[in-house]
Amino acid sequence: MDTPDIFLVKEFLLSLQENICRKLEKVDCTGIFIRDAWQAPGKGAGRSCILKNGTIFEQIGVNFSHVYGDSMPIFATANRPDLAGCKFEAVGISVVIHPNNPYIPSSHANIRFFIAKKPKNTQPIWWFGGGFDLTPFYGFIEDVVFWHKSAYDLCQPFGDGLYVRYKKWCDDYFYLRHRNEQRGVGGLFFDDLCIHGFNHSFQFAKAVGQSFCDTYIPILEKRKVLAWSNRERDFQLYRRGRYIEFNLVYDRGTLFGLHSGGRIESIFISMPPLARWEYDYKPQKGSPEEALYRDFLIVKDWL
């Protein structure tokens, strides 16, 4: 039977949350995740894990949630308007990493599973979504190529052309239209995944979640030894402002949480602890900061 099973997905995501936390604690050496279980009567429950002020990481949020309701918010049905107002249940995990060292990129990953039911319809409608992306402050070609090669490799067992499709979807999604600027160097993004049945889709979602740390940590290990000064820190904080802009204006997960009455502390755990804005900032010509805009915050074939 290829029947969708939300409890099977939930079991995997809770295990994945623990595995990610253990791996990132090991990398940091001193930082410890605080685990905060929460409940929202009539809406759901979850567990937020946060690491603050570590050796490597300024802040990490690893969230799990299991939510439900009688009317699916519109932000969860951007590509499925026919499901607006349906009863729904959803489980998901999200990871947002904000490192101390500006030479280490920030990164984000999430996996989510929705199941909805229309009135007078006995067959549930379900789908997976998620992906991961990389947001450097100072770019290194070899890091971005490694990131995308890893994304390509995990996609290959599930079908030719999958990486190209989901890479483009990521580029299109993580785009700040009001800035005419990419948020970072992309990765994978997928939604409404239900083709080939539940088991096939679940295996792909699992592959994305399980490969995240194995793809991110090698990049971190290379860059954590680089020395940095106030100049790099100021630029990091400035670029974090873009991260906030995207999350508040465009991010469907943030908007879903806000408009479904989600837990605010868990929703905003994705925000960096510190950021800054600067009026009409322009990087110095020929500088590493200019190189980020010129060579990395662009859509290109990194392979």
Annotated catalytic residues are 108
Report d(CA 183, CA 279) in Å as an integer: 19
3-class DSSP state of 204: helix
Q: Kindly provide the residue ranges of all beta strands, DSSP E only, lying in the chain, ordered along the sequence.
A: 34-40, 44-52, 57-69, 87-99, 106-117, 125-135, 175-176, 181-182, 186-193
Separation CA 20–CA 34 (nearest Å): 13
Q: Say whether 211 counts as a known binding-site residue.
A: no
- What letter would DSSP give residue 105? P
Q: Does 262 show up as a binding residue in the annotation?
A: yes
How many C-beta neighbours within 10 Å does residue 226 have?
A: 13
CA distance 136 to 101: 11
Q: Is 178 annotated as a binding residue?
A: yes
Contact 83, 125 (CB under 8 A): yes
Residue 66, marked binder: no
Say whether 294 counts as a known binding-site residue: no
Answer yes or no: is 111 a known binding residue: yes
The answer to the question of whether 112 is labelled as a binding residue is yes
Task: Identify the three-state secondary structure at position 240.
Answer: helix
Give me the residues paired with residue 222 across strands.
Answer: none
148 is in an annotated binding site: yes
- 131 is known to lie in a ligand binding site: no
- Is 187 in a helix, a strand, or coil? strand
The answer to whether 108 is a known ligand-binding residue is yes
> N- to C-terminal Cα distance for the chain?
38
196 is in an annotated binding site: no
CB 35 within 8 A of CB 64: no
Q: Who contacts 154 (Cβ-Cβ below 8 Å, separation ≥6)?
A: 207, 208, 211
Residue numbering of the annotated binding site for substrate = 94, 110-112, 261-263
Residue numbering of the annotated binding site for a divalent metal cation = 98, 108, 148, 178
Residue numbering of the annotated binding site = 94, 98, 108, 110-112, 148, 178, 261-263
